[in-house]
Amino acid sequence: MDSIADLHVHSCFSDGTMTPAELVDAAAARGVGLLALTDHDLLEGARALRDLPGKKGVSCVPGVELDAMDFGLNFHILGYGVDLDDPCFQAFCRENRERLEEVNRRLIVKMERAGEPVSLAEYEAFTYEPTLGGWTALHYFLSKGLTEKLAGGLSVYGKYSHSYSCVGFPSISEVSGRIHAAGGLAVLAHPGEVIPQEDMAAFRAAVLSAMAQGLDGIECHYSFHPPEVTELCLALCREHGWLVTCGSDCHGGFGRSRVGELPVKAGSLPGIERIAHLIEKGTPE
């Protein structure tokens, strides 16, 4: 447990640019010994990682990142140690992934009605190379000349005041319950990216409200957390005995962070033994 932990990375199966094998290579090169591939609302990348014939000394925990909606905010919940072959959990992830795509379809409809050169039929037939990162809508906007760069498509959502609240994502309680039913641990991802920080007392109260919905821990160490958020979350975990995790949220070339960029050792994370014991078993080496 003296190696670096990175328990939040994404592959080209969702919106990253790297394959699971490339993520393992990058992790090994940066001294990461404990890794979790947590693609958005799908399990295919984690299964591909599980089935890699060799992992270069990198221990891998089955993972996923699930969207939830509570208190008017779009929370992300990390599931660790979930049974990737559980048919009920697979179905739940597929349903959530479909909700995620429905957000984009509804945006396309708004744009089409506003006279933009887009159509839902064209969008649904559109394809792109997954290793370019991002998601279908961003590539579609780029192909239509509506943006100059892939990430520029993010501004389109704001232009149309279009949020993830337009579809019925499940509550934090339901998501955490589903993760637990699949044998996993449920962790609040990057609260500093979700909850407003103008008033830190209100931020603390919001984190406590989220954690009360059945969560097991907080992603305290996160590439884009300001120090005050990290310290507050660590203090809450100490106070309540919650699990502490660490994640880069690496998306490869579609993002600003790298695998293992936070020099946090796995052994320094309170409660990490609860995750370490969920490392894939029976994985071919």
pTM above 0.85, yes or no: yes
- Specify the residue for token string 């957390």: 225
> Higher model confidence: residue 67 or residue 285?
67
Q: Output the furthest CA–CA distance in the chain (Å, rounded).
A: 57
Q: Name 121's Cβ contacts closer than 8 Å, sequence gap at least 6.
A: none
Instruction: Give per-residue pLDDT as tens, 91-103.
Output: 999 999 999 999 9
Query: What DSSP element (H or E) covers 33?
Result: strand 32-37
Q: Identify the CA nearest to 128 among candidates 120, 138, 136.
A: 136
Question: What's the whole-number mean pLDDT along residues 216-231?
Answer: 98
Instruction: Give per-residue pLDDT as tens, 74-120.
Output: 999 999 999 999 999 999 999 999 999 999 999 999 999 999 999 99
Query: What DSSP element (H or E) covers 60?
Result: strand 59-70
Q: Are the CB atoms for 26 and 260 separated by under 8 Å?
A: yes
In which band, very low, low, confident or very high, does the pLDDT at 69 lie, cut at 50, 70 and 90? very high
In which band, very low, low, confident or very high, does the pLDDT at 68 lie, cut at 50, 70 and 90? very high
- Angle at alpha carbon of residue 125, lines to 120 and 126, rounded to 5°: 95
Question: What's the whole-number mean pLDDT along residues 227-231?
Answer: 98
The region that residue 89 occupies, defined by phi over 0 for left and psi between -120 and 50 for alpha, beta otherwise, is alpha
Q: How far apart are CA 64 and CA 9, in angstroms?
A: 10
Q: How far apart are CA 34 and CA 266, in angstroms?
A: 7
Work out the percent of the chain whose per-residue pLDDT is above 90: 94
Strand partners, 35: 6, 60
Phi, psi (rounded to 5 degrees) for 21: -65, -40
Q: Identify the CA nearest to 164 among candidates 66, 37, 36, 17.
A: 66
The mean of the pLDDT values for the chain is 95
